[in-house]
């Protein structure tokens, strides 16, 4: 008992409290690190080459059609322009059509927040409950009755509404406007309000965004399921881009008869329904066709970066080797001189 009493305050003899946790103490000497540098360089340079080759294999076609009509007057008057396109090489495999915008700040803070995710989730919003973050694109005064705008907000209001008709000779190249949105966006985030089987009724109490020509339930005339908030072009637009220079998917080549291998090279015609005004703020618009590789579109950055980093590691490794050899020499020398003493 006395033993216990006298040792009442004896600290615990645990590895943690006594700071005796087993520890690995790596010494970052030239000798121990130079293999890392060489291994990394040996691994990264080939990866970079593979990535570059992969990127090079991607065929991409871009056309800036901003200036195809000079005298565009107003949003409501549809204009068209016809552009002749020559594909020098064939585009094999899946071909994706994009529209590209430049100097369009989809990443502006007040733009990004100007949406009502609750509304897009399929919840009916009243004039009082439509998100204020949509203001001033939240309510519409329809001859004295205030109605909520569906979909509300600046993003929806400024939705890209040029349409492309791509044809080879007289035959239209089949481009489907679905399969371009993220699966989770399509299946979870964007839902039509009740009743989902009758969109006209579902949206009857709402006003269309002021810049829109057509209400949200009739965005796609060709495919009735691709309407309302579930319209994929709309969903794609709603996911705002990171930079003011961006592209968004327009559609995918339907690889039916004649296009089973992709787009053959040759002459094509692009018919643009020119609705989306960009010249006012100095923006540009592009039409893009691209194939993809396993890692996405054409982008040589990763390949180059891998090669450069691999190369730097190699140089680093060489330097370390030299250092190491030099250090060993000096130590041996000093050892020798010590022995002589």
Which residue in 68, 81, 147, 185 binds other proteins (CB under 8 A)? 185
110 lines the binding site for other proteins (CB under 8 A): yes
Longest dimension (CA), the chain: 107
Q: Which residues pair with 168 in a beta bridge?
A: 171
Q: What CA–CA distances, in Å, run from 14 to 6, 8, 11, 24, 332?
A: 20, 16, 9, 19, 43
143: left (phi over 0), alpha (psi -120 to 50) or beta: left
Considering only residues 302, 311, 318, 321, which one is a binding residue for other proteins as defined by CB under 8 A?
302
Instruction: Check residue 312 for interaction with other proteins (CB under 8 A).
Output: yes
| Residue 114 in contact with other proteins, rule: CB under 8 A | yes
Please report how the helices 30-57 and 301-340 are oriented relative to each other, as an axis angle in degrees rounded to 10. 160
Q: How far is the CB of 281 from other proteins (least distance, A)?
A: 5
Stretch that binds other proteins, among 78-86, 165-173, 263-271, 273-281 (CB under 8 A): 273-281
Interface with other proteins (CB under 8 A), residue from 294, 336, 337, 341: 294
111 contributes a contact to other proteins by CB under 8 A = yes
Given the complex with other proteins, which of 151 and 249 has the nearer CB atom?
249
Which of 12, 197, 337, 341 is close enough to bind other proteins by CB under 8 A? 12
Distance in angstroms (rounded) separating the CA atoms of residues 286 and 83: 12
Instruction: Decide if residue 327 touches other proteins (CB under 8 A).
Output: yes
Q: 21 or 84: whose CB is closer to other proteins?
A: 21
CB-CB contact of 70 with 261 (8 Å): no
Which residue in the set 41, 106, 161, 217 belongs to the binding site for other proteins (CB under 8 A)? 106
Q: Quick check: 126 binds other proteins (CB under 8 A)?
A: no
From the list 143-151, 161-169, 267-275, 285-293, the region that binds other proteins by CB under 8 A is: 285-293
Our CB check for other proteins shows the closer of 272 and 313 to be 313
125 binds other proteins (CB under 8 A): no
Size of the site for other proteins (CB under 8 A): 94
> Does position 248 bind other proteins by CB under 8 A?
yes
Structure tokens at 287: 């039409």
Comparison of 110 and 200: residue with beta carbon closer to other proteins:
110
DSSP string for residues in 200-251? HHHTTTSBPPTT-SS-GGGS-SS-TTS-GGG-HHHHHHHS--SSSSEEEEEE
CA dist., res. 118 & res. 130, Å (int): 9
Tell whether residue 318 is a contact of other proteins (CB under 8 A). Answer: no
Strand pairing category for 284-290 and 60-64: antiparallel
Site for other proteins (CB under 8 A): which residue of 63, 164, 182, 259? Answer: 182
| 8 A C-beta contact, residue 287 and residue 173 | no
242 binds other proteins (CB under 8 A): yes
d(CA 325, CA 154): 65
Q: Is 19 in the site for other proteins (CB under 8 A)?
A: yes
């Amino acid at each position: 008992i006395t033993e216990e009493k006298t040792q009442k305050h004896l600290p615990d003899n645990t590895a943690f409290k006594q700071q005796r946790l087993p520890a690995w103490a790596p010494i970052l000497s030239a000798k121990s690190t130079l293999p890392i540098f060489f291994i990394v360089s040996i691994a990264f340079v080939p990866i970079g080459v593979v990535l570059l080759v992969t990127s090079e294999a991607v065929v991409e076609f871009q056309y800036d059609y901003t200036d195809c009509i000079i005298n565009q007057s107003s949003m409501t008057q549809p204009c068209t322009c016809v552009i002749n396109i020559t594909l020098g090489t064939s585009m094999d495999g899946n071909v994706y059509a994009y529209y590209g915008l430049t100097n369009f700040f989809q990443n502006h803070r007040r733009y990004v927040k100007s949406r009502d995710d609750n509304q897009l989730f399929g919840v009916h919003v009243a004039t009082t409950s439509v998100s204020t973050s949509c203001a001033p694109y939240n309510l519409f005064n329809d001859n004295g009755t205030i109605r909520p705008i569906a979909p509300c907000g600046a993003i929806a209001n400024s939705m890209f509404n040029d349409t492309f008709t791509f044809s080879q000779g007289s035959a239209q190249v089949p481009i489907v406007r679905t399969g371009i949105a993220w699966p989770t966006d399509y299946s979870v985030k964007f839902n039509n309000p009740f009743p989902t089987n009758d969109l006209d009724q579902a949206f009857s109490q709402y006003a269309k965004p002021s810049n829109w020509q057509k209400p949200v339930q009739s965005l796609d005339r060709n495919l009735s399921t691709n309407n309302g908030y579930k319209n994929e072009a709309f969903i794609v637009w709603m996911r705002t881009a990171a930079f003011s220079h961006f592209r968004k998917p327009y559609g995918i080549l339907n690889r039916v008869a004649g296009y089973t291998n992709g787009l053959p090279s040759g002459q094509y015609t692009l018919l643009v329904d020119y609705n989306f005004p960009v010249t006012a703020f100095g923006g540009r618009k592009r039409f893009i066709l691209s194939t993809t590789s396993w890692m996405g579109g054409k982008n040589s950055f990763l390949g180059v970066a891998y090669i450069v980093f691999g190369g730097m590691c190699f140089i680093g490794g060489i330097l370390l080797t030299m250092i190491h050899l030099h250090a060993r020499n000096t130590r041996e020398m000093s050892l020798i001189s010590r022995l002589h003493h």
